[in-house]
Amino acid sequence: MSHLFEPLSLGGLQLPNRIVIAPMCQYSAEDGDASDWHLIHLGQLAFSGAGLLILEATAVSPEGRISPSDIGLWSDDNEAALARVLSGVRRYSTMPLAVQLAHAGRKASTQLPWLGGGQLAPEAGGWQTVAPSALAHTDGDVPPLALDHAGLARIREAFAAAAARAARLGLDGVELHAAHGYLLHQFLSPLSNRREDAYGGSLENRLRFPLEVFEAIRAQFPAERPVWVRVSASDWVPGGWDIDGTIAFAQALAARGCAAIHVSSGGLSNAQQIPLQAGYQVAFAQAVKAAVEVPVIAVGLITEPEHAESIIASGQADAVALARAMLYEPHWPWHAAARLGASVQVPPQYWRAPPHGVKGLFTAG
């Protein structure tokens, strides 16, 4: 019996296996509205047999977008556009669907990555960014405005309102994005948070706003559906956010009803030094798992089924998340199940797909 294909509970959400499709920005929305691209993109992933599909980073306000083409969930039009996409996906797939709610903070207002990235000036379609402190992400960027208490309240309310929209859409879960150098990570890290009020300085103070946002989302999303958090376990910069702070954050989240911790790393500073190799972030997930009693999701260059299986079997994490590997091979879980002697839920239109001699690979959704 494959450990990777055992069921897993995230709060009240039951996953058929432990393969999670991580959020992957598509930069294909218009005014925050999901498009036909999202219907096709999510549709093919929803046939993959994974246990959970998390929609890309979804901005809770226009200024919280990474780029002008980010998907959003701040307006009735956004909600209606996403409802159409989800309806099409759900018509043919029973895969659990979650959304990652996000605010980019000082990393907002950027050009599309395939057009070079970099900050967009207001006259080029960009906007003024906000952050815990008026510290630019990159030399030459227009510095963000430091959020005052009214600004903090607006952002908390925006997250809560987006969570209420996610609930109306029937999404099965919400992942709060507190990783990769975006707004909530900016509050956590001493490299980006130089505030002198109750939201800066000590670890307790730097945790305060991300925890307030989590509580605001949890209050607006149905209690029987899970809310969890994606974290960057390390800035990979001396003096930056680290695994000890991550463990303290994870423990505080678990005490507030967080259903899981999704452990990534990096993204806050251009000075980061990351030793890229297969599973380079798994040790962070293992450390968090030892400190909390909620499921932990590992991610980071996990591309081979046997590697994913060993992570679960050895107890390093409770689930594995894949992003680029799923873009490259949207049927990755099919191949993993074939190699590990397991089965996956697949629509009957595809039941003739397994190679000759492979039996019992597909089951009905």
For 143: left if phi > 0, alpha if psi spans -120 to 50, otherwise beta; the answer is beta
| Helix%, strand%, coil% for the chain, nearest 5 | 35, 15, 50
User: Could you tell me which residues come within 8 angstroms of residue 310 by beta carbon, excluding any fewer than 6 positions away?
Assistant: none
The reply to whether 199 belongs to the active site is: no
CA 329 – CA 315 distance, rounded (Å): 26
Which pLDDT value is given to residue 364? 79
- pLDDT confidence bin for 359, thresholds 50/70/90: confident
Selecting among 27, 92, 182, 199, the annotated active-site residue is: 182
What is the average pLDDT score of the chain? 96
Look-up of token digits 């679960």: 312
Domains, the chain, with CATH or none:
8-363 (3.20.20.70)
Residue type for position 234: S
For residue 48, pLDDT over 70 is answered with: yes
pLDDT at residue 330 tops 90: yes
Region 308-329 average pLDDT: 97
Closest CA to 110 of 42, 48, 181: 181
pLDDT over threshold 80, residue 365 = no
Say whether pLDDT at 1 is over 90. no
Chain segment 135-184, per-residue pLDDT in tens: 999 999 999 999 999 999 999 999 999 999 999 999 999 999 999 999 99
> Whole-model pTM?
0.97
**CA gap 169, 325 in Å, rounded:** 28
32-41, 92-101, 348-357: least confident range? 348-357
Residue 93 has pLDDT above 70, yes or no: yes
pLDDT one-digit tens code per residue, 224-280: 999 999 999 999 999 999 999 999 999 999 999 999 999 999 999 999 999 888 999
Pick the closest to residue 338 from 302, 303, 362, 307 (CA basis). Answer: 362
If you average pLDDT over residues 196-209, what whole number do you get?
98
